Structure formats: C-alpha cells, structure tokens
C-alpha cells in the first residue's frame, strides 16, 4: 500500500514538473514603428530581444528563460515584445542606432523609439526580471549617464565611469572614442593617478582600452615611471603580459587575421624592443629575446626561430616559456614541416618547466619529429 502511495505521489510530482512551466514571452510580429504606435496606445515600453541565429547564449535564453512562467507573465503584461535577428532586415539599421555590439542584447525603448535602458548577456530568470525592472525606472543608470553626457557633462570622473558603462554594454566604438577624449583631457600627472588605472591595467576593460596596439598601452609603456602610485608588481605584470601576448601572436602567425591586422603590425616590433629596453622589467632579457624570435617568425626564418628557442628556452621564466605553444602553432601552419630541431627544445622544456601540459605536448611533438624523420 505504501509503495503505491509513493509511486502515485511521484507520478503527481513528475506531471506537475512537466506541465508547470507552460507559458513563454509572446513576441509580436511588428516593425519598430508599428510597435511604437501600439506602445503609445497601451502606455507600455517596448522590449526588444536582439539576437542572432548563431548566438549560443541567445538560444539558451529563448529555451530556458523566456519560457519561465514568471518571466512570461511579467513581460507579456508589461511590454510590447519584439524579437529581432540582428543580421536581417530593419534590425541591421536598429543595431547601429542603438549601438548593439554583443548578443544577446536587451533594449527597452519608449513610444518615441528612444532608448530607455539596455543590458547584455545570458542570465538566470531572476536576474533577467531584476535587470528589466531596474531599466523601467526613468532614473536607471543607462538613462541617467546618457542624459548627463547629452547635457554636456565632461568631467574626468564622469567620462571614466561612462567609458566603463559603455564597455559593460559592449558599445566598444563609443567607449574608445570617449577614452580618446578623456586621454586628451587628462594631464600627464592625472593619467597616472590610481583612480585612472582602470584605463591602463588588467581588468574587465583592458581588452578594449589598453591591449596591444592601443594608445593607452603605448602611453603606459613610454611613461611607466609616472605610475609610481601603482604597485610595481602590478605595473610590471601588465607590461610583461602584453609583450608576451604580442610575441605569441607574431610567432603563431595570427597577426594576419582580420581582427588582428591593425593591432599587431610587424613593423612595430622595433618599437616594442625600444619600449622594453626602456623598462626595468624583471624579465626584460626574456622579452627582448621574444621580440627577436617574433622578428624571425614574421621574416619566415623558421630555422632562426628554432635556434633561438633551442639556445634559450631553458632560461626563460615559466610564463615566457609559453611561447613554445605559439612555436608549435607556427610549425603546424607549415605544410609538410618535420619539426627539425624540436627535440632539443622539448628536452630542455622537460628538464626545466613546471607546466605539465607544456611538458606533455613537447614530448608529443618530439615523438612526431622522430616519426616523421623515420619515414
């Protein structure tokens, strides 16, 4: 008897779980102009889901968040809901108008098609509702910052915060323009203040503000002594990591990629060497060697790259030994390459590296060299 009761209860729970979430956000087939008319008639805001067919987080949100009853009930009662494929139709122009730079992006727009709020990314149902509700407040962070800028506010504190907000919203081009304006506005002494380190350091914003090839990074490299208020280890780590990254891109040959061609120019290698020579970085010698290896790589002098690594890889710091990964990528890009000389590099990595992944991959490619030469 008890067994039947337990089985029956389990079936009830299963059927309840199966059918509990049966509502979803109802997206309407309207143009934005039509949605604005309807929004005016119903006194509602317009919610726009900006997605693409290839965006994985977009698919997750559609399948797992838009179908939660609490989400569906809130959005269906409060908004005119639109869903736009940002690669098609009027959405392409709207993406430029509202500066949509990442997917999914979510927009709240009023009856006059003015942006009220915006947020980006995949998230839980609770966070999705919370962010949307916050956006309906006329004094939400996005609306307030935009209004302050439109009203002419240009204080350095405001611009710094506005740049960070733009990057959070993945409005990268506007953020970079604002950064350029701020850099021109700040004095040399002000740039080096701790509160402005966000424009130069390793953080959420560095990929867009202070990466290789950026004006901010070049400024830091040439004026690093000004930044005495920043811990030296932090400063050194930033500089070394970018030079290491630059060398890796050149050695692996990724500088020819469309997304890298402006940031990584082989003609800048002498400039990077000069910058490094002017530093007091603990791994200065390593980094100069990496630039020599980079030059050999862009010159397609594979023999020289191999020789420089074989002669010096055992003395490189552990972090700088990672250049071997990029060397392997270079070798893989050369048709029918037999990894000549790789065995010496591999042996020295095995003896000196504490990175088990690097050690194992070196063993693998040493064996590949042996096998290829045995044929």
Catalytic residue among 50, 58, 164, 331: 58
Q: What is the dihedral of CA 292, 294, 295, 296, to 10 degrees?
A: 90
| Rounded alpha-carbon distances, angstroms, from residue 128 to 22, 253, 334 | 18, 41, 48
Catalytic residue among 36, 50, 55, 331: 55
Q: Distance between CA atoms of 93 and 304, rounded to whole angstroms?
A: 50
| Cα 303 to the center of its chain, rounded Å | 35
* Residues 320/290, Cβ–Cβ less than 8 Å: yes
Alpha helices in the chain (DSSP H): 2-20, 32-42, 56-64, 69-78, 89-97, 125-136, 141-150, 156-168, 172-185, 188-191, 206-209, 215-222, 232-252, 269-277, 284-298, 302-312, 323-332, 342-352, 356-374
Question: Which backbone phi and psi does 109 adopt, to 5 degrees?
Answer: -125, 140
Tokens linked to 99: 């500066």
Q: Distance between CA atoms of 129 and 66, rounded to whole angstroms?
A: 10
Q: Is 55 a catalytic residue?
A: yes
Tokens linked to 25: 């956000």
DSSP string, 29-65: ---HHHHHHHHHHHT-EEEEEEE-TT-HHHHHHHHHT
Residues 6+ apart with CB under 8 A from 353: 318, 321, 359, 362
* Residues 359/349, Cβ–Cβ less than 8 Å: yes
Tokens linked to 178: 């604002």
Residues 6+ apart with CB under 8 A from 35: 28, 46, 80, 82
Q: Is 362 a catalytic residue?
A: no
* Residues 115/99, Cβ–Cβ less than 8 Å: no
Q: Which residues carry out catalysis?
A: 55, 58
């Amino acid at each position: 008897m008890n067994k039947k009761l337990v089985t029956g209860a389990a079936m009830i729970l299963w059927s309840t779980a199966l059918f509990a979430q049966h509502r979803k956000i109802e997206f309407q087939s309207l143009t934005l102009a039509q949605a604005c008319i309807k929004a005016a008639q119903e006194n509602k805001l317009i919610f726009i889901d900006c997605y693409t067919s290839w965006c994985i987080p977009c698919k997750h949100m559609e399948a797992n968040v838009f179908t939660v009853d609490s989400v569906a009930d809130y959005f269906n009662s409060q908004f005119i809901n639109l869903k736009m494929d940002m690669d098609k139709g009027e959405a392409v122009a709207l993406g430029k108008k509202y500066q949509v730079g990442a997917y999914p992006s979510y927009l709240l727009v009023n009856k006059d098609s003015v942006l009220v709020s915006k947020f980006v990314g995949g998230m839980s149902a609770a966070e999705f509702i919370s962010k949307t509700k916050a956006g309906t407040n006329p004094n939400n962070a996005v609306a307030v910052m935009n209004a302050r800028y439109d009203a002419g506010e240009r204080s350095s504190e405001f611009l710094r915060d506005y740049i960070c907000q733009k990057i959070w919203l993945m409005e990268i081009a506007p953020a970079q323009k604002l950064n350029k304006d701020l850099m021109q506005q700040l004095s040399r002494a002000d740039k080096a203040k701790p509160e402005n380190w966000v424009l130069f350091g390793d953080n959420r914003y560095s990929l867009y503000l202070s990466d290789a090839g950026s004006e901010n990074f070049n400024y830091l490299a040439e004026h690093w002594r000004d930044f005495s208020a920043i811990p030296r280890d932090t400063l050194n780590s930033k500089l070394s990591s970018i030079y290491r990254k630059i060398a890796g891109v050149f050695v692996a040959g990724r500088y020819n990629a469309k997304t890298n061609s402006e940031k990584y120019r082989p003609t800048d290698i002498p400039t990077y060497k000069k910058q490094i020579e002017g530093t007091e970085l603990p791994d200065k010698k390593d980094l100069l060697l990496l630039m020599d290896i980079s030059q050999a790589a862009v010159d397609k002098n594979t023999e020289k790259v191999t020789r420089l690594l074989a002669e010096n890889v055992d003395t490189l710091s552990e972090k700088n030994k990672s250049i071997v990964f990029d060397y392997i990528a270079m070798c893989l890009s050369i048709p029918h390459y037999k990894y000549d000389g790789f065995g010496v590099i591999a042996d020295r990595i095995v003896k000196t590296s504490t990175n088990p992944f690097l050690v194992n991959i070196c063993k693998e490619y040493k064996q590949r060299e042996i096998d290829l030469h045995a044929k």
